[in-house]
Structure 1
Amino acid sequence: MKALFCILFSLITMSFYAQKTFTVYFETDSYQLSTSELNRLDKHFINKEVTVKSVTGFCDARATSEHNDSLAKNRAQFVANLLKKMMSASGFEQISKGENFVQNENMSKNRKVEIVYFETTTKPLQEEKIQVTELKKKINTSKIGDKLILKNMNFYDRMDVLYPESKPIREELLQALKENPKLKIEIQGHICCTLGKDNEEIALKRCKAISNYLISSGIESNRVSYKSFDATKPIFSIPEKNEEERKANRRVEILIVDK
Structure 2
Amino acid sequence: MLRFLLYCLLTTSFSFSQAKFTVYFDTDSYQLNSSELNRLDGFLKNKELKFNKVIGYCDYRASNGYNDTLASNRAKFVIGIIEKVTNQKQIEIDSKGENFEQNSDLKLNRKVEIFYEELQIEKTLPKDDKKDLSQQVSTAKVGDKLVLKNLHFYNRSGIFVPESRPILQELLQIMKNNPNLKIEIQGHICCQIGTDIEETAKVRALAVYNFLIENGINKNRLSYKSFGSSRPIHIIPENNEDERNENRRVEIQIIAN
TM range (shorter): 0.5 to 0.7
Alpha-carbon distance, 1:184 to partner: 0.2
User: Is 1:44 equivalent to 2:91 in the alignment?
Assistant: no
2:109 corresponds in structure 1 to: 105
Classify the secondary structure of the residue corresponding to 2:152. coil
2:99 corresponds in structure 1 to: none
2:177 corresponds in structure 1 to: 179
Note closer, same or farther for the CA distance 1:143–1:112 as it changes in structure 2 (3 Å cut): closer
- Give, in whole Å, the separation in 2 of the partners of 1:233 and 1:112: 32
Equivalent residue runs for 1:36-75 within 5 Å: 43-44=84-85
Classify the secondary structure of the residue corresponding to 2:184. strand
RMSD: 3.3
Superposed CA deviations along residues 147-169 of structure 1, whole A, max 9, x for unmatched, are 00001111101111001001110
Note closer, same or farther for the CA distance 1:36–1:153 as it changes in structure 2 (3 Å cut): farther
1:53 corresponds in structure 2 to: none
Superposed CA deviations along residues 60-97 of structure 1, whole A, max 9, x for unmatched, are xxxxxxxxxxxxxxxxxxxxxxxxxxxxxxxxxxxxxx
Count, aligned residues:
162
- Give, in whole Å, the separation in 2 of the partners of 1:192 and 1:249: 5
- Give, in whole Å, the separation in 2 of the partners of 1:188 and 1:110: 33
Contact 2:189/2:247, CA 8 A, preserved across alignment? yes
Note closer, same or farther for the CA distance 1:212–1:36 as it changes in structure 2 (3 Å cut): farther
2:218 corresponds to which of 211, 217, 220: 220
Alpha-carbon distance, 1:193 to partner: 0.8
2:248 corresponds in structure 1 to: 250
1:145 corresponds to which of 143, 146, 150: 143
2:229 corresponds in structure 1 to: 231
Classify the secondary structure of the residue corresponding to 1:34. strand
Note closer, same or farther for the CA distance 1:220–1:45 as it changes in structure 2 (3 Å cut): closer
Contact 2:185/2:222, CA 8 A, preserved across alignment? yes
Contact 1:188/1:226, CA 8 A, preserved across alignment? yes
Q: TM-score, normalised by structure 2?
A: 0.55
Superposed CA deviations along residues 115-156 of structure 1, whole A, max 9, x for unmatched, are xxxxxxxxxxxxxxxxxx811111111111100000111110
- Give, in whole Å, the separation in 2 of the partners of 1:39 and 1:204: 27
Contact 1:24/1:41, CA 8 A, preserved across alignment? no
Unaligned stretches of 5+ residues in structure 1: 1-19, 26-30, 47-102, 114-132
- Give, in whole Å, the separation in 1 of the partners of 2:116 and 2:146: 40
User: Is 1:33 equivalent to 2:74 in the alignment?
Assistant: no
Alpha-carbon distance, 1:246 to partner: 1.0
Note closer, same or farther for the CA distance 1:32–1:213 as it changes in structure 2 (3 Å cut): closer
Identity of aligned residues (%): 45
Note closer, same or farther for the CA distance 1:39–1:182 as it changes in structure 2 (3 Å cut): farther
- Give, in whole Å, the separation in 2 of the partners of 1:203 and 1:136: 24
Unaligned stretches of 5+ residues in structure 2: 1-37, 55-78, 88-106, 118-130
Contact 2:152/2:161, CA 8 A, preserved across alignment? yes
Note closer, same or farther for the CA distance 1:152–1:110 as it changes in structure 2 (3 Å cut): closer
Alpha-carbon distance, 1:105 to partner: 2.9
Note closer, same or farther for the CA distance 1:202–1:45 as it changes in structure 2 (3 Å cut): closer
Note closer, same or farther for the CA distance 1:153–1:110 as it changes in structure 2 (3 Å cut): closer
Contact 2:53/2:114, CA 8 A, preserved across alignment? no
- Give, in whole Å, the separation in 2 of the partners of 1:182 and 1:110: 44
- Give, in whole Å, the separation in 1 of the partners of 2:157 and 2:244: 16
- Give, in whole Å, the separation in 1 of the partners of 2:169 and 2:203: 19
